[in-house]
C-alpha cells in the first residue's frame, strides 16, 4: 500500500470535484462530447460518486468526483476518499476542491490506501494523488504513516501483539527516531514500586512491563501515557464472550500514543517528549488478583479492587504517578477505558477530560480544523465520593453504574499530583467502514492533539 503522494507527471489525470447543483455550470464550459457523455452516465455530483470521461483514444481523459451537498458533507469527513477507492489505478490531480477542505481531503485520499494485510493480501486504493497546491505534503504523509501504525497495532491480535511485541513496537519507534528507551519487566516492577502494573499483569504468560521512552532535549516537557492492555479477559471477573471478542484493541491507548509520538518526532516539535506505556495482559491463573484485594499504588494510595475487569485504570495509575514525578508541563493519558464513554458519545468521537482552559480552547479549535472530533466531559467533583469505598482510599469500580467514564477519569486524576493533565477515553475501533476509515482499528484525537500542541504549549 502507498500512503505517499505521487510526483507530478504528464500522464496525470485531472479529477474535477463537483458538488450537487454545480454540474450544469461545469458542463457549460466543456465541449459537446463531454457534455453528452456525462449526461448519459447519469452523474449528478452525488457525494461519493465518480464518472470517468474517455478521450478520443479511449483512455481516461478526466474523472469527476461528486461532492454532494453541504448537508451531506456535514455527516462525515474524508469524502474524496470514496472516489479514491473507486477510481482505477493511475495518478490524479484535483480541480475544483474548496481550499479550506484541501488538507482534509488530501489526507483522506492517502488513508484510502491503507489496508491491514498482515494475514492476507488486501490492497488499498490504487489511485495516487498529486498533493494539491498549498498543502503541506510532507506533514500529511507523516500523519498518514502514524495513522497506519496505530491501525496496524490495534488490528493485530494478541497472539502477535502481546506485551513482548508491544515493547518491540516501542523499541522500533525509538530506534527510528533516535529516542532513548528503558523497560522495567516482571518482578522488577515490584522492586521499583509499580505494584498495580505488576498485579494486573502477573498472571499472564508474558510478563508485565513499563516502557519509558524519551526524546528531545529542549522545550516544554510533554508526557504521553497509553494504556497497553494487550488482551483483557476481565480477569476473575471474566468477560462474557460478546464483550471479550474485541479485546485485542484494549491496547488502543498505547497504539494511539505511539502514533502521536511518531508525528511529534518526525515533525521535530520542540518539546521534551516522554512516552510511558504499561504493557500487560489481564489474564487468569492461580496468581491473578481477586475481587476485594486491596493494592497500594506507587503514590501510596490504597485501592480496593472491586472488579478485576476495571484493570486499565490500575496500570495507568502507577504510570501517571511516575510521570508526574518528573513535573511535566503537560501530561496526557489515552486509553480504551470505559464502555460508558461509548454510550455517551458513540464510537466516532473521542471524549476527553481537562480543566486547563488554554488546552481546551486549543484542542477544540484544532479538532474542527483537522476533522478529528473530540468532546469534553467534566471532571465532576461531586462524584469524587463515588470512588471512595471507605475500606481503602479508592475504589476501582464504583457500584451503581452511573457516570462510569467520569468516575474513571476522577480516579486517574488522583495520581497526577496536580500536573496539568488531560485524559482521553478513546474507542480505537471503527465498527462500520467509512471513507478513509475501514472497519477495524483507528486513531482518535491524535491529529487534534498534534494540531493543538503549538498553542497549548506555547511553541
- Per residue in 185-215, pLDDT tens? 999 999 999 999 999 999 999 999 999 999 9
- Judgement on whether residues 391 and 452 belong to the same structural domain of the protein: yes
Phi, psi of 168 (to 5 degrees): -60, -40
Residue 386 belongs to some domain of the structure: yes
pLDDT on residue 9 = 78
Question: Quick check: is 399 catalytic?
Answer: no
Of 126, 158, 178, the one marking the end of a domain is 126
Mean pLDDT of 331-336: 98
- Judgement on whether residues 279 and 163 belong to the same structural domain of the protein: yes
Mean pLDDT of 433-458: 98
Q: Is the pLDDT of residue 401 over 90?
A: no
pLDDT on residue 350 = 98
Q: How far is CA 253 from the centre of its chain?
A: 8
Residue 131 belongs to some domain of the structure: no
- Judgement on whether residues 211 and 109 belong to the same structural domain of the protein: no
Q: Identify the weakest region by mean pLDDT among 2-11, 98-107, 110-119, 424-433.
A: 2-11
Percentage of the chain beyond pLDDT 90 is 97
- Judgement on whether residues 26 and 153 belong to the same structural domain of the protein: no
| Confidence band, pLDDT 50/70/90 cuts, at residue 305 | very high
Of 126, 157, 178, the one marking the end of a domain is 126
Percentage of the chain beyond pLDDT 70 is 100
Question: Which of 73, 139, 171, 239 is the catalytic position?
Answer: 239
Residue 94 belongs to some domain of the structure: yes
Q: Is the pLDDT of residue 1 over 80?
A: no
Q: Is the pLDDT of residue 65 over 70?
A: yes
Residue 7 belongs to some domain of the structure: no
Of 99, 126, 153, the one marking the end of a domain is 126
- Judgement on whether residues 58 and 160 belong to the same structural domain of the protein: no
Mean pLDDT of 424-434: 97
Could you tell me the pTM of the whole model? 0.97
Coil/strand/helix, residue 350:
strand
What CATH number did the domain enclosing 438 receive?
3.40.630.10
What CATH number did the domain enclosing 76 receive?
3.40.220.10
Question: Quick check: is 73 catalytic?
Answer: no
Residue 6 belongs to some domain of the structure: no
| Confidence band, pLDDT 50/70/90 cuts, at residue 70 | very high
Residue 47 belongs to some domain of the structure: yes
Mean pLDDT of 134-159: 98
Alpha-carbon torsion (98, 104, 106, 111), positive or negative:
negative
Domain count, the chain: 2
Q: Is the pLDDT of residue 39 over 80?
A: yes
DSSP conformation letters of 218-248: SS-EEEEEE-EEEEE--TTSPPPHHHHTTGG
Mean pLDDT of 31-47: 97
pLDDT on residue 123 = 87
Range of the domain at 51: 13-126
pLDDT on residue 8 = 82
Residue 134 belongs to some domain of the structure: no
Write down the mean pLDDT value for the chain: 97
Pairing of strands 350-354, 421-425: antiparallel
- Judgement on whether residues 188 and 106 belong to the same structural domain of the protein: no
| Confidence band, pLDDT 50/70/90 cuts, at residue 337 | very high
Residue 42 belongs to some domain of the structure: yes
E strands in 257-326: 272-282, 294-296, 302-304
DSSP conformation letters of 109-153: HHHTT----SSS------EEEBPPTT--HHHHHHHHHHHHHHHHH
- Per residue in 344-353, pLDDT tens? 999 999 999 9
Question: Which of 249, 313, 413, 437 is the catalytic position?
Answer: 313
Amino acid at each position: 500500500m502507498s500512503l505517499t503522494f505521487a510526483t507530478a507527471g504528464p500522464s496525470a489525470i485531472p479529477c474535477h470535484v463537483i458538488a450537487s447543483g454545480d454540474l450544469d455550470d461545469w458542463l457549460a464550459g466543456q465541449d459537446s462530447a463531454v457534455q453528452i457523455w456525462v449526461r448519459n452516465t447519469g452523474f449528478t455530483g452525488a457525494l461519493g460518486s465518480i464518472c470517468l470521461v474517455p478521450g478520443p483514444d479511449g483512455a481516461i481523459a478526466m474523472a469527476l468526483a461528486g461532492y454532494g451537498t453541504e448537508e451531506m458533507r456535514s455527516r462525515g469527513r474524508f469524502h474524496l476518499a470514496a472516489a479514491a477507492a473507486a477510481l482505477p489505478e493511475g495518478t490524479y490531480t484535483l480541480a475544483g476542491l474548496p481550499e479550506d477542505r484541501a488538507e482534509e481531503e488530501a489526507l483522506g485520499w492517502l488513508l484510502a490506501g491503507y489496508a491491514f494485510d498482515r494475514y492476507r493480501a488486501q490492497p488499498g486504493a490504487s489511485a495516487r494523488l498529486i498533493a494539491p497546491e498549498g498543502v503541506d505534503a510532507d506533514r500529511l504523509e507523516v500523519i498518514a504513516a502514524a495513522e497506519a501504525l496505530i491501525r496496524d497495532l490495534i488490528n493485530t491480535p494478541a497472539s502477535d501483539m502481546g506485551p513482548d511485541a508491544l515493547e518491540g513496537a516501542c523499541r522500533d519507534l525509538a530506534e527510528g527516531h533516535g529516542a532513548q528507551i528503558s523497560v522495567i519487566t516482571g518482578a522488577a516492577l515490584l522492586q521499583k514500586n509499580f505494584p498495580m502494573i505488576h498485579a494486573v499483569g502477573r498472571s499472564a504468560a508474558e510478563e508485565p512491563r513499563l516502557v519509558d521512552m524519551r526524546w528531545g532535549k529542549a522545550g516544554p516537557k510533554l508526557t504521553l501515557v497509553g494504556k497497553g492492555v494487550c488482551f483483557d479477559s476481565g480477569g476473575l471477573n471474566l468477560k462474557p464472550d460478546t464483550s471479550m471478542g474485541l479485546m485485542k484493541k484494549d491496547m488502543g491507548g498505547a497504539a494511539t500514543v505511539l502514533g502521536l509520538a511518531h508525528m511529534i518526532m518526525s515533525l521535530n516539535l520542540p518539546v521534551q517528549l516522554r512516552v510511558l506505556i504499561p504493557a500487560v495482559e489481564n489474564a487468569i491463573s492461580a496468581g491473578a488478583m481477586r475481587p476485594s484485594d486491596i493494592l497500594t499504588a506507587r503514590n501510596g494510595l490504597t485501592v480496593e479492587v472491586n472488579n478485576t475487569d476495571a484493570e486499565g485504570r490500575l496500570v495507568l495509575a502507577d504510570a501517571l504517578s511516575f510521570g508526574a514525578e518528573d513535573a511535566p508541563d503537560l501530561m496526557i493519558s489515552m486509553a480504551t477505558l470505559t464502555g460508558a464513554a461509548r454510550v455517551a458519545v458513540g464510537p466516532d468521537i473521542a471524549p476527553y477530560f481537562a480543566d486547563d482552559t488554554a488546552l481546551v480552547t486549543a484542542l477544540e479549535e484544532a479538532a474542527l480544523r483537522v476533522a478529528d472530533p473530540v468532546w469534553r466531559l467534566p471532571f465532576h467533583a461531586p462524584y469524587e465520593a463515588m470512588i471512595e469505598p471507605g475500606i481503602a482510599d479508592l475504589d476501582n469500580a464504583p457500584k451503581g453504574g452511573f457516570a462510569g467514564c467520569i468516575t474513571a477519569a476522577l480516579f486517574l486524576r488522583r495520581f497526577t499530583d496536580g500536573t496539568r493533565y488531560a485524559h482521553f477515553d478513546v474507542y480505537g475501533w471503527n465498527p462500520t467502514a467509512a471513507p478513509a476509515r475501514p472497519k477495524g482499528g483507528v486513531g482518535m484525537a491524535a491529529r487534534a492533539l498534534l494540531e493543538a500542541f503549538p498553542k497549548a504549549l506555547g511553541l
